[in-house]
Amino acid sequence: MKNNNLLFIRILFLIMVIVVGVGALALYLINSSNLVLYKIILSIILIISFLVTSFILITSIILINLVKKKSISNFQKSYLIKTIRYIYVPVLYLANILNIDKNKIRGVFAQINNRIVLSTEMKIDPEHILVLLPHCIQKSSCPHRVTTNIENCKKCGQCNIDGIVRLKEKYNINVVVSTGGTLARKIIKETHPKAIIAVACERDLSAGILDVRKIPVIGVLNERPEGPCINTRVSIDKIEDSINYLLGKE
């Protein structure tokens, strides 16, 4: 994951170099042209390039400090939470052009989000914590559907639903198994949680974090021993650690 962090920052700097190049070209053309309207347009491009470069540079510095696990101020956290959403899309787009695995970028985005959330002091009542699970966590051959009610789990131990139900009983938190993003958004709207622990693959996790703006989300990547979207696994310890953090026990 450390290499992926560096990859994310390198792509960010590459975007900054491209923007600086555009600004330098605009400056050259301004000095070479005598047309007033042309100069005005190029001047606007130059100003935008300067602002975008400054924006990326400041964000990169804060990101590097976060990756190095250095403390950042509440203002920097607030700034990063807002800016990382704007930066993520062009970084992902450029990664696609450069033929870089997009899941690496998505994973880093989720990790950055987690570090911001986990660096903020939390103390949330258990009834306001929502654990969102993908339906692929359940054993595909299981006849007891838990998407309508996780209490339908018979605790046979063949999948991680068993362990998560035990966490639900232990901490009195809300746990819901979702069949997709639309249902997940509906659940969040209806339950009004103050914090979310979301289990998903890199793509769904990053999309979910982008969708939820005003609620802190801790993302937990699932494991896919049989491939995507079937019989996936998740670390129960990671979920429990996240619960304890949100409860203010860590």
Q: In this predicted model, what pLDDT tens digit does every residue of 57-104 receive, in sequence order?
A: 999 888 888 877 777 888 888 888 888 888 898 999 999 998 999 999
Region 146-161: mean pLDDT is 89
Query: Buried b vs exposed e over 223-245: b needs ≥16 C-beta within 10 Å?
Result: eeeeeeeebbebeeeebbbbbeb
Domains, the chain? 2-118 (no CATH), 126-247 (3.40.50)
The model's pTM: 0.86
pLDDT higher than 60, residue 1: no
For residue 209, what are the CA distances in angstroms to 56, 150, 216? 21, 23, 9
> Which segment of 70-74, 99-103, 126-130, 155-159 scores lowest on mean pLDDT?
70-74
Task: Kindly report, residue by residue over 169-211, the tens digit of the pLDDT.
Answer: 999 999 999 888 788 888 898 889 999 999 999 999 999 999 8
Query: Are 54 and 82 contacting, i.e. CB atoms less than 8 angstroms apart?
Result: no
How far is residue 120's CA from residue 136's CA, in Å, rounded to a whole number? 31
Q: Enumerate residues 6+ apart whose C-beta is below 8 A from 68.
A: none
